[in-house]
Structure 1
Amino acid sequence: MDYADASGKLADYRRRIAALRAEMRDLQDRAEPQPVEDYVLQSTTGEVRLSEAFGGKDDLIVIHNMGRSCPYCTLWADGYNGVYEHLADRAAFVVTSPDSPAEQAAFAQSRGWRFPMLSHRGSSFADDMGYRGDNGWLPGTSVFRRDTGGIVRVSDAGFSPGDDFCSLWHFLDLLDGGRRGWRPKYRYG
C-alpha cells in the first residue's frame, strides 16, 4: 500500500479509536461507584490510611505497581515522573507496591522519582482491588473519590505492554518494524 493511502487509513483508525474512547468515558461516568474500606498502607514514616493519601484533594489516582523486580512497572513509573505535577494539580497521586517502604524509597531515589509511594505489604488492598492474579501481583490503576459515605472507587484499568498509560509503546509502534521484540531494561548503554 502506498504511504498516502496507508496514512489516510491510519488517520481513520485513530478517529475510530477517539470515538471509542468517548464511548468508554460515557460508560465510566454512568458506572455506579464501588465503596471501599479505608485500607492501612505503609510509608517510610509509618501507617497511612487510604483516606490520608487524598491530601487536600477529592480524587486519588493509585498505581498498582509490581515493585522493583519488574522492569515494565519501572518503565511506567519513569513516565509518571514527567506528568506527576500535572496529575497532582487535579488529583492526589500515589504509587503502591508490595515492596517495603525502605525498598521503595531506595529504588525511587535511584530512579529520580518525585511522586509519593506507599506499600500495600501486609494488607489486602491490591488483592481486593483485583491486582493480584494466580502468578502474583498485577499492574494497573484504581481511581478513588471521597464520598459522603467514605471512599469509593470510580474506575480502574490494568496495564500491559502497548497500553495507553505509557506513551513509549506508541512511539515504538511508529518505527519501521515496530517494537521488534524490544523490552524495557533498568539501564541502557
Structure 2
Amino acid sequence: MKYVDATRRLAEHRDRIAALREEMRKMQDAIEPQEVADYSLATPQGEVRLSALFGDKDDLFVIHNMGASCRYCTMWADGFNGVYDHLASRAAFVVCSPDAPAAQKRFADSRGWRFPMVSHQNTSFAADMGYRAENGSHQPGISVFRRDNGRIMRVSDTDMGPGDAFCSVWHFFDMLPGGAGDWAPQFKYR
C-alpha cells in the first residue's frame, strides 16, 4: 500500500478510536460506584489508611504495580514519573505494590520516581480490587476512587499490559516497521 493511502487509512482508524474513547467516557460517567473498605496500607513512615491517600483531592488513582521484580511495571512507573505533576494537579496519585516499604523506597530512589508509594503486603487490598490472581500472582492495573460523604467509592478500574493506553512506548513502537517485534523492557539499557 502506498504511503499516502496508508497514512489516510491510519488516520481514519485513529478517528474511530477517538470516537470509541468518547463512548467509553460516557459509559464511565454512568457507572454505579462500588463502596470499598478503608484499607490499611504501609509506607516507610508507618501505616496509612486508603482515605488518607486522597490528601486534599476528591479523587485518587491507585496504580496496582507488581513490584520491583517486574520490568514491565517498572517501565510503566518510569512513564508515570514524567506525567505525575499533571495527574496530581487533578487527583491524588499513588503506586501500590506487594513489596515491603523499605524495598519500595530503595527501588523508587534508584529510578528517580517522585510519586508516593504504598505497600499492600499482608493485606487483601490487591485481591479485593481484582489484581491478584487465584494462583497468588499480582496483576497490574489502575483503580480510581472517589470520596463521597465519608465513604470511599471505586468509580473505575482497568488492567494494564503491553499495548495499553497507559504506556506510550508501545504506541511509538507501533509506528515502526514490525512494531515492537520481540522487544521487552529492561531495567537498564547498556
Confirm or deny a common fold (TM above 0.5): yes
CA distance in 1, matches of 2:120, 2:13: 39
In the TM superposition, residue 134 of structure 1 has moved relative to its aligned partner by: 3.2
Report the AA paired with residue 174 of structure 2. Answer: D
Structure 2, unaligned runs of 5 or more: none
CA distance in 2, matches of 1:147, 1:123: 24
**1:144 matched to which residue of 2?**
145
Report the AA paired with residue 109 of structure 1. Answer: D
CA distance in 2, matches of 1:185, 1:165: 18
**2:90 matched to which residue of 1?**
90
Aligned length: 189
**2:102 matched to which residue of 1?**
102
SS at the partner of 1:94? strand
In the TM superposition, residue 176 of structure 1 has moved relative to its aligned partner by: 1.6
**2:128 matched to which residue of 1?**
128
Report the AA paired with residue 170 of structure 1. Answer: H
**1:155 matched to which residue of 2?**
156
CA distance in 2, matches of 1:57, 1:9: 42
Determine if the alignment matches structure 1 residue 5 to structure 2 residue 5.
Answer: yes
Normalised TM-score (structure 2): 0.98
Structure 1, unaligned runs of 5 or more: none
CA distance in 2, matches of 1:159, 1:46: 28
Report the AA paired with residue 180 of structure 1. Answer: G
Task: For residues 48-95 of structure 1, give each alpha carbon's deviation from its aligned partner in whole angstroms, at most 9, with x where no partner exists.
Answer: 000000001100000000000100000000001000011110000000
Normalised TM-score (structure 1): 0.99
The alignment's C-alpha RMSD in Å is 0.7
In the TM superposition, residue 149 of structure 1 has moved relative to its aligned partner by: 4.6
Report the AA paired with residue 188 of structure 2. Answer: R
Runs of 4+ in 1 over 4 A off after TM superposition: none
**Paired-residue identity, %:** 65
**2:115 matched to which residue of 1?**
115
CA distance in 2, matches of 1:99, 1:54: 21
Report the AA paired with residue 146 of structure 2. Answer: R
CA distance in 1, matches of 2:134, 2:68: 20
SS at the partner of 1:137? coil
